[in-house]
Amino acid sequence: MSNVRITPWQDGDPAPAKLLQGMQARRPNRELIGIDRVLLKSFPLATGWNELLRRVRAEFSLELQHLELIMLRVAVLNGAEFEWRVHHPVYLSAGGTQEKCNALRCHAIPPGQFDENERALLVLTDQSTRRVEVDAGVIDELKRLFGETKTVEAVATVAAYNMVSRFLVALAI
């Protein structure tokens, strides 16, 4: 975190105890990471962010492997290496493969690497991240494959992790 453009919150700096506990609960070994320490510069932001991302990661019905696939692709498209490093091991532990991780780093997704469901999620991710507007046919295909609830969750995951990656990249976290 030596190049971060904002002085990160430090252990011992003031912060609401409930907020700190909530942020620590989302992290392995309860250890705050770089983004947490920058978010803590604004308690209202940190509170809302923590709650939103906790729900995306822990409460969505979309499978964890699919959520993490989206997060990794967004990280690649937006040049958010910190985000990649955080989500790469989670994706692998959720059943993703290193071969798929390598394919995610390509500008265009290579054919044959991903199943039908994964390809549909990647088309959504690429369109939404690169141009914001998503073709109606992409949404129709997601609804066919996943149903409406998981389609909404997939779109929300892309949007949420575009927010995350843009925050990370802008502040050099």
Band (1; pLDDT cuts 50, 70, 90): low
* 8, part of any domain: no
**CA–CA dist 15, 40 (Å, integer):** 7
* 19, part of any domain: no
Answer for the pair 108, 114: CB distance below 8 angstroms, yes or no.
Answer: no
* 9, part of any domain: no
pLDDT, one tens digit per residue, over 122-154 is 999 999 999 999 999 999 999 999 999 999 999
* 25, part of any domain: no
Rounded to an integer, the average pLDDT of 113-117 is 97
Hey, how many other C-beta atoms are within 10 angstroms of the C-beta on 30?
11
Band (42; pLDDT cuts 50, 70, 90): very high
| Domain count within the chain | 1
* 136, part of any domain: yes
**Residue 70's CATH number:** 1.20.1290.10
Rounded to an integer, the average pLDDT of 23-37 is 94
* 5, part of any domain: no
The residues, any chain, with a CB within 8 Å of residue 46's CB and separated by 6 or more, are 19, 23, 36, 39, 40
50, burial (CB in 10 Å: exposed 0-12, middle 13-18, buried 19+): buried
What pLDDT score was predicted for residue 24?
A: 96
Domain that holds residue 165: 64-170
- The answer to pTM > 0.85 is yes
Answer for the pair 75, 165: CB distance below 8 angstroms, yes or no.
Answer: yes
